[in-house]
Amino acid sequence: MQSEFKVKAYLVGDRLIVWDHRGASELYRNGFYGRPMSTGKPKGVDVDSPLILDLVEGLYLMEMEVIEVYDQYTGRYIDVDELRSYARRRIENFDLKYVVYRDLRGRGYVVSTGIKFGSDFAIYRYGPGIDHAPYLVQVKRSDYTIDSTDIVRAGRLATTVRKSFIVAIPRIEDGRISYLLFRWFKV
C-alpha cells in the first residue's frame, strides 16, 4: 500500500486510533485495515469516522511506512522498535501472532481480529462487507500439543459461525509457518 502521505495514528492503551477521517478512509479503502469507530462493519469501502487499529496491524503498517505513531497524551513520536516492545508487553505471544499476520497479509488475505469468534484472526479473501471471513486462525507455539478437547472446541466454534478453523504454528528459528486446516462435515 503506497500513500502520498503517512497517516498519523495515536497510541491509546492496546489500540491505535487514526483520528483523521481522510487517513482512516485511505487505510480502510486500501486493505481494510482497522475497524471504523462509528460502526462494526461498514457496507462500503469509505469510512467517515476515526479508525481503530490493533497493535499487530499497527506495527505492520509502521513497517510498511504507511503510518506514524504518536502517544495520544504527550504527542511524542513512537518508533517501530518502541511499538514492538510495547506490544510484546501487552499481547501474549505477540511475535508469533505478528509473524502469522504478516505472512497472511503477504499472501493477499485481509486479516482482522478474530476476538469476537474466540480466535486470534478472522481471514477474508476480499474484505469485510464484501464477503464473509471463511477462516478463523488461532496462533500456537511450536511446542503446542493439540488434544481432543481443543479439536472439539475448534469444531464447535467453526461450525457455529460457518468457518473453517486453522491452527497456525510459526517457527521463529527458521521462519516457517505450518497451517493446519480443520474442515467439518456431516456424515
Q: Is 21 a catalytic residue?
A: no
User: Do 119 and 187 fall into the same domain?
Assistant: yes
Q: Is 186 a catalytic residue?
A: no
Domain end (from 35, 60, 91):
91
User: Do 118 and 168 fall into the same domain?
Assistant: yes
Q: Which of 109, 135, 140, 163 is catalytic?
A: 163
Q: Which residues of 63-78 are buried (b: 16+ CB within 10 A; e: fewer)?
A: eeebbbbbebeeeeeb
Q: Are 56 and 47 in contact (CB under 8 A)?
A: no
Domain boundaries, position 81 = 1-91
What pLDDT sits at residue 91? 95
Distance CA 93, CA 101 (A): 12
Q: Which of 10, 124, 135, 140 is catalytic?
A: 124
Domain end (from 53, 75, 91):
91
**Terminal C-alpha separation, the chain:** 45
Q: Which three cell numbers stand for residue 92?
A: 501474549
Residue type, position 128, single letter: P
What pLDDT sits at residue 31? 92
User: Do 30 and 61 fall into the same domain?
Assistant: yes
What pLDDT sits at residue 125? 92
What pLDDT sits at residue 10? 98
What pLDDT sits at residue 2? 54
The CATH number of the domain holding residue 70 is 3.40.1170.20
pLDDT in tens, the chain (187 residues): 555 679 999 999 999 999 999 999 999 999 999 999 876 555 666 677 899 999 999 999 999 999 999 999 999 999 999 999 999 999 999 999 999 999 999 999 999 988 888 889 999 998 887 888 889 999 999 888 877 887 777 777 666 667 788 999 998 788 899 998 877 666 6
Q: Is 124 a catalytic residue?
A: yes
Domain end (from 74, 91, 108):
91
Distance CA 164, CA 134 (A): 6
User: Do 124 and 185 fall into the same domain?
Assistant: yes
Q: Which of 116, 126, 132, 144 is catalytic?
A: 132
DSSP notation for 73-116: TT--EE-HHHHHHHHHHHSTTHHHHHHHHHHHHHTT-EEEE-GG
Q: DSSP class of residue 187?
A: -
Residue 52 CB: number of other CB atoms within 10 A? 18
Return the sign of the alpha-carbon dihedral for residues 40, 42, 47, 48.
negative
What pLDDT sits at residue 3? 54
Q: How many CA atoms lie within 13 A of 165 on its CB side?
A: 21
